[in-house]
Structure 1
Amino acid sequence: MKFPSLSIAGRALLGALALAGFAALPAHAQDAAEPAAEAAAAAGDPAFIFNTLLFLMGGFLVMWMAAGFAMLEAGMVRSKNVSMQLLKNIALYSIAGLMYWAVGYSLMYVDVNGYFGTVWPYSWPDAGTANEGDYAVASDWFFQMVFVATAASIVSGTLAERIKLWPFLAFVVVLTGFIYPIAGSWQWGGGWLSEMGFSDFAGSTLVHSVGGWAALAGALLLGARSDKYGPQGQVQPIPGSNMALATLGTFILWLGWFGFNGASQLAMGTNSDVSDVSRIFANTNLAAAGGVIAALVLTQIVYKKVDITFVLNGALAGLVSITAEPLMPSPFMAIIIGAIGGVIVVFTVPLLDKFKIDDVVGAIPVHLIAGIWGTIAVPLTNPDTSFGVQFVGIVAYGVFTFVVSLVVWMIIKAVIGLRVSPEEELTGLDVGEVGVEAYPEFIASRVR
C-alpha cells in the first residue's frame, strides 16, 4: 500500500515522533527481554493449555455418549420400560463418577504394582496452582471418568426389561469402583499387560469388552425375557418402541466417539499431535460408515429386507472395532476394520438367540465381539504389536471380568434378588419399579 505525498511539515512531525519513540526504547536488549519473558509466563504454556483442552473437550463429548446410550436404549425397549432405562442411565453415570473419584482412579493409576493401584479418594491440586505438569490434573481425571460410565451403560442395555433397579445399581458400584479400574490398570496404568506390549489405544477391550463380559455374565444368570423364546425355543421378535430415538442415540454415540478416540491421543501441544488427532477423527468416521454399509447390504442379502436395528448396531460395531487402533490404519483399512464389525453384528445376534441369550439392544455383539475383533486386528496396522500378546490381553480381560462379574451377580441375586416378578415384567418396569410411565397415554403398552 502506498501513502499519499506528505507536506514538509508532515514529514517533520513524523520525524519527531520517530525520534521520541527511539528515545523511549530500552538501552539494552536484555532490558526488553525481561518484560517479554514475564508476558510469556503470564500467558502460560501453550502445550499445557492445548493438552488440557483436549482432555476437557474429549471428556464432554464422551459424557454426551451417556445421552446416546439413554436414547438408544429408550428406543430399543418397549414403551412400558422406557422410564426404567432412562432412570438407569442417569443413575449409573452418577454412580460411576462418584465411585471413580472415591476409589476407581487411584486403583487404576496411582502407584500401580502391576495389577492394581491404591484404594483412596483421588484429589487434584488446589485452585490457582500454576504448574501441574503437561496438563491439568483434574482434566485427566474427568476424561478417564467418563470412560467408566460407558462400560456400565453396556450392561444396562443388555439386561433391560427384566432386572430390578437396585440390584443393577449395586452391580454398577462394583463394576465402576473396582472391576473396571483394576482391569484398566493392567494396561493404561502401566501394569503387567502394558509391560508385555499389549496395545489398546482407546479401549476396544479395556472399556467395551469389559462391559460386554459383565453384561454376558448378568444375562446368563438373569435369563431371558419371559416372552422372548417360545416353548420349542423359537425366537419371538420383540420390536422396540421408537426407532427415531434409537437412531438419535446412535448419532449421538457416533459424535461422542470422536472424543472417545480422538482425545485418547492424550496430547495436542504440537503440530504432529494435532495431525494425529485429525487422522483419528477421520478413521473413526470411516470405520463407522463401513460398519453401516456392511450391515445394510448383508441384511438385505440374508433377510431379504433391511433391518434398521442391525444397521444402527453396524455403525456402533464399526466404531468399537476401530477403537483399539484408530491412528495407524490407512483410510481403506479403517473401512475394512469397521465393515467386519458390521458383519459380526449380523451373524452374532442370531447366534446368541440359538443359545437363548437375551440381549435387548445387541450390546454383546457390538461391544464384546466387535471389541475382541478390533483388539486382535491391531497388529494388522501397528507393527509394534503382536497377535500373541494381543490374544493374551483379550483372554486375561475376558476371564477376569466374566468370573468376577458372575460372582458379584450371584451374590446380589442371593442377597436381594435380580429379577422382577412375572407380573411386573408383564405390566412393565415403569409401573413396577419406577412409578412414572414414559408414555402413560398408551395403556395397551402395559401388556405388550
Structure 2
Amino acid sequence: MSLKDVAYGLDSLWVILAAILVIGMQAGFALLEAGSTRMKNSGHVAGKQLLSFAIVSIFFWAFGFAIIFGDGNAMFGTTGWFLDAGKHTFDSISWANVPLSLKYLFQMAFAAVSLAIAWGGFAERGKLSVYLVFGILFTVIIYPVIGHWVWGGGWLGEMGMQDFAGSTVVHLQGAIAALIGTLLLGPRIGKFNKNKTPNLIPGHNQVYSVIGGIILWIGWFGFNAGSTMSTADGFFGFVALTTNLAAAAGAIAAIITAKILVGKADIGAMINGALAALVAITASCAFVEAWAAIIIGAVAGAVTFWTSVYFEKKGLDDPVYAFSVHGIAGIIGTISTGFFASNRLVASAGVGKAGLFYGGGLHQLGVQVLGVVVSMIYVAVISFIILFILKKTIGLRVTPEEEVSGLDISEHGAYGYPEHLDPHYKSVD
C-alpha cells in the first residue's frame, strides 16, 4: 500500500467520523429544544428533528449538493444532480481527498443543522405540514445558494470571504429563516401582556437542555475540525483548540453577563453563551490565533444574552433564542476574521487576506461585512416569500385550541409525557 493510499484512507476515516459527530448534533438540538419548551410540546419539538434530517438527506442529495458545489456560474451550480459526477462536475470541492459520497454526507449534515436552527423560531405553534414544505424549499433554493456563493466557487468566495465552517453559510441562514418564521407566526398565546411586557414561559426540563448543549459542543469538533477534511498536517487539532477555547469563554462570559444584568446566574444563559461562542468561532476557527478565539467567544456569549433579553422586550417571541444564538453570533463570528485573521493562518489556508489588527487594512473586513449583508437579504426575502405564500394557503400556525392543548396531542395524537398530561392514562404497573 502506498503512502497516498494511506493518506486517502485516513482522510476518509476522519471525514466520516466528523460527519457522524455533526449528524449527532441533531440529538443535541432535540434535547436542547425539547428541554427549553413546555412538556405538552416536547415530543413534537424532538420529533421534528428526525423529520427535518430525513428531508435534508433526500433533497440535498438530489439538488442541494449540486447547487452548492456543482459546476455552474457565480450564483449557483447547474450540474451534478443526484450526485452524478461527470468530468469537472465538482471541481469546487476537489481539494478534499475523500470519496464523493463522504463529501455529500459531511455537507448534508451541515445543511441539516441549518434547517434545525430555522425550526427554533417555529416552536410551540408551527404546523407540521409547514416543516415539510419549507424544509424542502430551504434545502433546495435557500441554503445551497449562499453555500455556492461562499464555498462552491461563487462570487463571495472569489472575493476571498472567510467562513471556514459556516457562521454565515450554516448558522446565519438558519437564524434569518427562524426570524422570518417568528415574525410571521406571531408570539405564543400568553407570552405578552396587554401592556406588551413579556411573561416567562419556562422550558420543562433544564437538565435536557444542558445535556443537549454538551452534545452540541462535542459535535462541534466534527463541525469545525472536520471541515479540514484532512489529517495530513494535523491542522484539525488547532481548529479543535480554537473551537473549544471560544466555547468555554462564551459560557463564562454569558453567565457573568446574566448575573450582572438580571441578578441571576441563569443556566440557560450559560448554555446559549457556549453555543453562541461556537457559532461565532465557526467562521474564524482556522484563521485566528488561540487568544483571539477566547475574545471572539466571550464577546459572542455576552452579546447574545443581552440581545435575547432586548428582542424579547421589543415583542419578539423566539422560544429558543435562535436568532440571537445563531444570527447575532453568526454575524459577530463572520465579521471577526476581518479584525483577527492572522497572516500566518491566512497564508496557510489560502483564503482571503489578514485582518485589520494584523496590518491587512479594511479589505477583509469589508468583504466579511458584504457577505453578511447580502446573505441576510437573500435568505430573508426568499424565506418571507415562501412562508407568506404558505400562510395564505395552508396556514403557518395551528389553531388556538390546538396550541393550548399542545402540539404533541394535536399534531401527533399522543403526549410525550402521557402519564403527566393525559387524564385517561392508566399505568400497567
Q: Shared fold (TM-score greater than 0.5)?
A: yes
- Judge conservation of contact 2:40–2:421 (CA < 8 Å) in 1: no
- Give the aligned partner of residue 104 of structure 1: 64
- Judge conservation of contact 1:112–1:185 (CA < 8 Å) in 2: no
Residue 387 (str. 1) matches residue 348 (str. 2): no
Corresponding residue to 1:377 among 328, 333, 336: 336
Range moving further from structure 2, 409-418 or 250-259: 409-418
- Give the deviation of 1:329 after TM superposition: 2.4
Residue 122 (str. 1) matches residue 83 (str. 2): yes
- Give the aligned partner of residue 360 of structure 2: none
Alignment partners' CA distance in 1, 2:16 and 2:72: 25
- Give the deviation of 1:241 after TM superposition: 0.5
CA separation of 1:194/1:137 partners in 2, compared to 1, >3 Å: closer, same or farther? same
Alignment partners' CA distance in 1, 2:43 and 2:72: 40
- Give the aligned partner of residue 280 of structure 1: 239
Larger radius of gyration: 1
Residue 403 (str. 1) matches residue 381 (str. 2): yes
Corresponding residue to 2:142 among 160, 171, 179: 179
- Give the aligned partner of residue 91 of structure 1: 51
Letter of the structure 2 residue corresponding to residue 49 of structure 1: G
Letter of the structure 2 residue corresponding to residue 69 of structure 1: F
Residue 63 (str. 1) matches residue 28 (str. 2): no
- Judge conservation of contact 1:112–1:189 (CA < 8 Å) in 2: no
SS in structure 1 at match of 2:223 = helix
- Give the aligned partner of residue 129 of structure 1: none
CA separation of 1:445/1:397 partners in 2, compared to 1, >3 Å: closer, same or farther? farther
Residue 431 (str. 1) matches residue 409 (str. 2): yes
- Give the deviation of 1:124 after TM superposition: 6.3
Residue 349 (str. 1) matches residue 308 (str. 2): yes
Measured against aligned partners, the alpha-carbon deviations of 1:312-345 in whole angstroms (never above 9, x if no partner) come to 1001001001000112322221111101111112
Alignment partners' CA distance in 1, 2:151 and 2:197: 43
- Give the deviation of 1:346 after TM superposition: 1.5
Range moving further from structure 2, 137-146 or 328-337: 328-337
Alignment partners' CA distance in 2, 1:55 and 1:434: 36
Alignment partners' CA distance in 2, 1:52 and 1:443: 47
Residue 218 (str. 1) matches residue 181 (str. 2): yes
- Give the aligned partner of residue 33 of structure 1: none
Residue 203 (str. 1) matches residue 166 (str. 2): yes
Letter of the structure 1 residue corresponding to residue 319 of structure 2: V
SS in structure 2 at match of 1:328 = coil
Alignment partners' CA distance in 1, 2:170 and 2:72: 19
- Give the aligned partner of residue 258 of structure 1: 221
What count of residue pairs does the alignment treat as equivalent? 396
- Give the aligned partner of residue 162 of structure 1: 125
- Give the aligned partner of residue 48 of structure 1: 8
- Give the deviation of 1:393 after TM superposition: 0.4
Letter of the structure 2 residue corresponding to residue 352 of structure 1: F
Range moving further from structure 2, 300-309 or 70-79: 300-309
Residue 333 (str. 1) matches residue 292 (str. 2): yes
- Judge conservation of contact 1:295–1:314 (CA < 8 Å) in 2: yes
Letter of the structure 1 residue corresponding to residue 259 of structure 2: Q
- Give the aligned partner of residue 243 of structure 1: 206
- Give the deviation of 1:54 after TM superposition: 2.2
Q: RMSD over aligned Cα, in angstroms?
A: 1.7
CA separation of 1:110/1:445 partners in 2, compared to 1, >3 Å: closer, same or farther? farther
Range moving further from structure 2, 383-392 or 423-432: 383-392
Residue 76 (str. 1) matches residue 36 (str. 2): yes
- Give the deviation of 1:205 after TM superposition: 0.4
Alignment partners' CA distance in 1, 2:311 and 2:133: 26
Alignment partners' CA distance in 2, 1:78 and 1:135: 43
- Give the aligned partner of residue 440 of structure 1: 418
Q: TM-score with structure 2 length normalisation?
A: 0.89
- Give the aligned partner of residue 361 of structure 2: none
Range moving further from structure 2, 383-392 or 160-169: 383-392
Letter of the structure 2 residue corresponding to residue 116 of structure 1: F
Q: Which runs of 4+ in 1 moved over 6 A?
A: none
- Judge conservation of contact 1:80–1:445 (CA < 8 Å) in 2: no
Alignment partners' CA distance in 2, 1:277 and 1:180: 25
- Give the deviation of 1:444 after TM superposition: 8.3
Alignment partners' CA distance in 2, 1:52 and 1:397: 31
Unaligned segments of structure 2, at least 5 residues: 87-93, 344-352, 355-363, 425-429
- Judge conservation of contact 2:338–2:366 (CA < 8 Å) in 1: no
Alignment partners' CA distance in 2, 1:232 and 1:444: 34
Alignment partners' CA distance in 1, 2:245 and 2:337: 16
Alignment partners' CA distance in 1, 2:324 and 2:72: 32
- Give the aligned partner of residue 197 of structure 2: 234
Residue 299 (str. 1) matches residue 265 (str. 2): no
Alignment partners' CA distance in 1, 2:225 and 2:423: 41
Unaligned segments of structure 1, at least 5 residues: 1-39, 126-131
- Judge conservation of contact 2:415–2:422 (CA < 8 Å) in 1: no
Range moving further from structure 2, 113-122 or 310-319: 113-122
- Give the deviation of 1:265 after TM superposition: 1.3
- Give the deviation of 1:425 after TM superposition: 0.7
Residue 413 (str. 1) matches residue 391 (str. 2): yes
Alignment partners' CA distance in 1, 2:210 and 2:309: 21
Measured against aligned partners, the alpha-carbon deviations of 1:16-37 in whole angstroms (never above 9, x if no partner) come to xxxxxxxxxxxxxxxxxxxxxx
Alignment partners' CA distance in 1, 2:282 and 2:339: 14
SS in structure 1 at match of 2:284 = coil
CA separation of 1:244/1:124 partners in 2, compared to 1, >3 Å: closer, same or farther? farther
